[in-house]
Each structure stands twice: as C-alpha cells, then as structure tokens.
Structure 1
Amino acid sequence: MEAELQPPQIMAKPKRRMNKASRQKRMFLVIAIAPSLLGYILFTLYPNLLSVYYSLLEWDGLTDSKFVGLDNFIYMIQDKFVWRALYHNAIYMVIVPVFTLFISLLLAYLLNMKSYKENAWYKVIYFFTNVLSTVIVAMIWSFIYDGSFGLLNGVIELFGLKMNDFYWLGSTKTAIWALVLPMVWGGVGLYVIIFINAMSAIPRSLYEAAQLEGARPMELLFKITIPLIRNVIRVCVIYVVLGSLKSFEIIMILTNGGPEGSTDVAGLYMFNLAFGKEYHNYGYASAIGMLLFVILVGAKFIIDKYYPEETIEF
C-alpha cells in the first residue's frame, strides 16, 4: 500500500511549485501594471468621461450647473467660429505633416548614406529643437518675425526689398502661414532621429546592388529606403497629423488666435472658452472637446484605411 501511495505524493510537489510560480507571476504583473493603469484611469479615462458629462451642462465652473442636454452640440453646429477654427486646423493638419516628414526623411537619408564623422553631432543638433520647451521655441520665432528688429525682415532687406517694419504675425494674410515654420522646425529633429534609426537597419547590400545597376541617390530613396521603412513612416504620419490637430500651445503664445481670429484653432478656441478672461463656459468647451475627439478618431481610421500597416522582410 505504501508503494502505491508514493507516486501521487511525488507528482503533487511539482504541481504545487507550478501553482506557486504562477501566482507569483500574476502578482508581479499586477504590481507592475497597477501604477500605470491607475494613472490612466485617474488622469485620462476619468477626465474624458467627465468631459462627456460636462458637455451636457451649462456651467461656468463656479455657480450651479444646469442640464441642457444636446443644446451645446446644436449651438456648436451653428457657431461660425468653430468652423473657422476647424478650417485652420485642416490647413495645419495637411501642410505641417508634409513639410515635417519630407524634410526629416531627406536629412535622415543624407546622414545615413554619407558616413560623416560629425554624424553624432548632427543628431544632437537636430534633436536640440525637441529639447526646447514650446515657450522658448515661440519666443525665438517671435524675435525672428518681429517687424522692427526681426531676423527675417533683416535677411529680406539684404536683397534690396524694403519691409517697412512689417509684422508677419500681425497681418491676417501672413500670420497663419508664418506659424507653419515654427511647427515644422520644432518637429523635424525628432523624426530625423527616428528615420535614421529605421534606415540603419536596412542592409547595405541592397544599396550596393542597386548602385551597381546604375541607380541614382533619389532612386535609392524612393525605391528602396521609403518602401522598407514604410511602417515607421506610417506611425510618424499618425503622430504628426494628430499632433497638428491637437496642438495650440505655440499658437496661443505667438498670436493667441489673432489677428482677428485668423490663426484660431479648435483647441485654442476651446481653451479660451473654458479659461478665458471674459467668461467661462466649461459645458460648451467640453462639447468642442468631444468634437475634437471624434475628429481625431476619424482621422486615425482614415489613415489606417488608406495607409495600412504591412509586413516587410529584408
């Protein structure tokens, strides 16, 4: 009888060890994930759900709130300032990603193909703009665009053109286009580094074989480099497009939506409605926030549909 009972006792020990190891693994995962999950719930999910509730209210943040249902959304559809702001968002959402990614790809390609001794320094210089805060970037460009002693007017006058103290950010015709340069300048550095790292993973033998067949540098870029880092470019497109739609900090510092609302964007309009000097309307601002959320999700779905992720092997 003892010989018959011995095998089950021996087999039970590894099972208990496995159960203990499984519990420890689950406990480790809970401890590792819990802080991030808690932070996401407290600082992302909860505020977003609260914004949905606020969008149904008429509330200034101080007095008692009043439930108005969908009135904020109905008024938003009729609000010409919302559509003007979204039009400006659309301009930035198209122009900024095109110039940012094109310049970043070109610079990264040149640094990757040419093994300059100073490549490490170039990376630091390009990335330096991303280290600067938005306030510093805005201040730099405010001096560049200044009408009295600005760098841009000074360079133009070197070619014999009189600018007569023209303020680029003070004209309704030039302000919206002048803001494109700071946005592009501030974003290029990060994507140069991303593209350089992606290109460095491409085997050099592919370039060498193409060069033996007479391929030119631009052909190497468009027929080898870009197709092989397609998925990386796709991720960058998503970030730049959605970032251009959400960004308003540099606009707020340089123009605050002026002159005459010619640079106003949806995020800035929403911010001024909620925290402006004249009045506070958290309910209506939250409704605009919900509209921005829908547009962001829609833009992401459009990119996924027309620029899908592909499996690339090399």
Structure 2
Amino acid sequence: MIQKQERAASLNYGNRPGWKSKEASQKWIFILMATIPAFGGYLLFTLYPNLLSVYYALLDWDGIREPKFVGIQNFIVMFEDPFVWRALKNNVLYGVIVPPFVIVVSILLSYILVYKSYRMNAVYKVLFFFPNVLSVVAVALLWAFIYDGSFGILNAGLKLVGIDVGNYYWLGEKSTAMWAIIPPTVWWAVGFYFVIFMNAMVGIPKSLYEAAILEGASHRQRLVQITFPLLMPIIRVSAIFLMLSMFKGFENILILTNGGPSGSTNVIGLYMFNIAFGTGNHNYGYASAIGMFLFVILVLAKLLIDKLTAGRDAEY
C-alpha cells in the first residue's frame, strides 16, 4: 500500500504547483547559455563594427586627431571620385567572369570523376582540391613567379610552342594585368566548389541517368538536362558566395599588383583598404563610406542572382 502511494506521488510530481514554471525556467536558462556565446560574438564582432562603420562614414577622421562630423560629405566625394568608379568597373569585370568559370569548371570536373570510373580517381580528387589548401598569399606568390617576365614559366612555355613574347611582364602591362589575375583566382577557388558539387552529384539517383542512356542521351545532354537543373539550388548559393568574395576579396590583387599598373587592377575593397590603412593620409570616414557603398552593391548583386535563377530548380 505504501509503495502504491509512493508511486502515485511520483507520477503526480509533474502536476505539483510550480513544477512546470521551474521546468520552463530551466529550459530558458539552457537556451540562453547555449546561444549567448554565439549571439554575443555576432554582436561584438559583426553587428557592432558594421553599425560603427555607419557612424564613421559621417566623420572626417584619420584615427588619431579629433573626428569631425561632416554628414553626407564623404558620400558626395565618393560619387565624384573617378577612382571609385574605375575600381567598381574592375570589380564588375572580376565578378562577372570568375564565378561562371569556377562553377562550370567545378561541375565538369565533378561530373567526370563521379560518372567516369578512372583508376586514379582518389588522386585526382586530391590534386583538384590541393590549391584550396594553400593560402591566398601562397597562391599569389606562386602565380607572380609564373607571370614573371624574366624567369616566368608562362613565357618559357609559350616560347617552347613557338610564341616568343620576350620578357613580357603580364602583371606590369595595363592591357593584360586584370586578365592575368583571373586564372589564379579560378585555380584557387575551383577545388572547394569541386568538392561541393561532387558530393551533390553523388546524391542524384542513378536511375535518372540510366533512363537517359536508354533513350540515347549523350553526356552533354545528361549534363545539361539532368545535372544542371538538379544542382541549381547549390549553383545559386555558390554563385552568391563567389560574387560576394569577388567584391570583398582583394588579398591576391594586393600581392600581385597592389592595384597597378596605374590603377588598372584596383578594386573597391583594395581602394578602401589603402585609404584606411595604406601609405599617405588615412581617412577612416571616407573608407567607411566606400564600405557602405560596397554593402549596397553586394545586396543588389544577391537580389540579381536570386532573380536570374528563380524558378529554375528541379526535383526528383
């Protein structure tokens, strides 16, 4: 009888007054303890600096002297600055050419390795991903040696096939410098997206390809009509990330050319960096205004990609 009463008491323990409120409070304490570190880091290292940049954009400040409030004067100067528009032009060229190249090359390499049973597939996977393991600095220095006019591999290779360009400095000429920056970027980025697309292709049912083979579809038709549509959500996300990195990133350009010759390879991120931290007069206010302008460009680029790829998803 006593055991039955104890058992009934234990079963009714959850119905005691205050038990549910105590359980709810413990639940909220756990949620707060789990989310506060990540949320606090986001507030401290992302949201707060971005909000501070908005404030800095309204100042004339070199980081040392007393800041002077100038309102929207920095934005007026920015829109009248020809160097900003030249850098934006280079960014558009960079952002329009590199992402499609990276995505197409990554998908082709992934398709070949997934649907072609080569004996050394594992070795090829490592080779294709290897450039992404290297730092941007190492990649830039490697390609700077390749493009070197006196000892570069590129000029030597062209000479072997009968094209003698002499001691041509690919990164030192305005006509070729911007185009010479594109191959290192594509070479470095392909490895990462190659792995992403390859893992996505493994999840596509083989029955779709088998049915297409029975109907006489070629590899090109299977790639265009099956693989691309099914990978469209991943392609969209990859295009967005690549576009953002092309507009924000400038490390390889900083090492290869530092925006030269004569600003022909300067981009928005590098121009902003040099204004804030480069040699000469520092102006954090003007650099912050350019940063706000870059933020608007990135948002518009993301919306444009969403619009261009909307309604093109396929399901299986």
Structure 1, unaligned stretches of length 5 or more?
A: 1-5
- 2:183 aligned to 175, 181, 185, which one? 181
Amino acid across the alignment from 1:232: I
Q: What residue in structure 1 maps to residue 170 of structure 2? A: 168
- Written as runs of structure 1 = structure 2, the 5 A alignment for 1:78-97 is 78-97=80-99
- 1:208 aligned to 206, 210, 223, which one? 210
- Written as runs of structure 1 = structure 2, the 5 A alignment for 1:16-35 is 19-35=21-37
- 1:142 aligned to 127, 141, 144, which one? 144
Measured in 2, the distance between the counterparts of 1:10 and 1:77 equals: 71
Measured in 1, the distance between the counterparts of 2:287 and 2:193 equals: 32
- 2:194 aligned to 183, 192, 195, which one? 192
Amino acid across the alignment from 1:273: I
- 2:157 aligned to 151, 155, 158, which one? 155
Displacement of 1:36: 1.1
Measured in 2, the distance between the counterparts of 1:212 and 1:17 equals: 65
Deviations 1:208-241 (A, max 9, x none): 1110110000100000111111101111011111
- 1:252 aligned to 251, 254, 259, which one? 254
How many residues matched? 309
Displacement of 1:18: 5.0
Residue pair 2:229, 2:312 contacting (<8 A) in 1 also: no
Distance 1:311 1:261, change over 3 A: closer
Measured in 2, the distance between the counterparts of 1:310 and 1:160 equals: 46
Q: What residue in structure 2 maps to residue 127 of structure 1? A: 129
SS state at 1:147 partner: coil
Amino acid across the alignment from 2:102: T
SS state at 1:264 partner: coil
Greater shift in the superposed pair: 112-121 or 170-179: 112-121
Residue pair 1:52, 1:290 contacting (<8 A) in 2 also: yes
Q: What residue in structure 2 maps to residue 308 of structure 1? A: 310
SS state at 2:48 partner: helix
- TM superposition score normalised by structure 1: 0.93
Displacement of 1:312: 4.3
Measured in 2, the distance between the counterparts of 1:311 and 1:107 equals: 22
- 1:44 aligned to 12, 24, 46, which one? 46
**How well do the aligned residues superpose, as a CA RMSD in angstroms?**
2.0
Q: What residue in structure 2 maps to residue 71 of structure 1? A: 73
Identity of aligned residues (%): 56
Measured in 2, the distance between the counterparts of 1:111 and 1:19 equals: 57
Q: What residue in structure 2 maps to residue 110 of structure 1? A: 112
Deviations 1:257-311 (A, max 9, x none): 0000000001000000001111101110100000000000111111122223776
Amino acid across the alignment from 1:67: F
Deviations 1:45-85 (A, max 9, x none): 01100100000000111111100000000011100000000
Measured in 2, the distance between the counterparts of 1:226 and 1:256 equals: 37
Measured in 1, the distance between the counterparts of 2:142 and 2:86 equals: 27
SS state at 2:12 partner: helix
Distance 1:172 1:20, change over 3 A: same
Residue pair 1:128, 1:189 contacting (<8 A) in 2 also: yes
Measured in 2, the distance between the counterparts of 1:30 and 1:212 equals: 57
- 1:277 aligned to 272, 276, 279, which one? 279
Q: What residue in structure 2 maps to residue 220 of structure 1? A: 222
- 1:243 aligned to 239, 242, 245, which one? 245
Structure 2, unaligned stretches of length 5 or more?
A: 1-7
Greater shift in the superposed pair: 87-96 or 109-118: 109-118
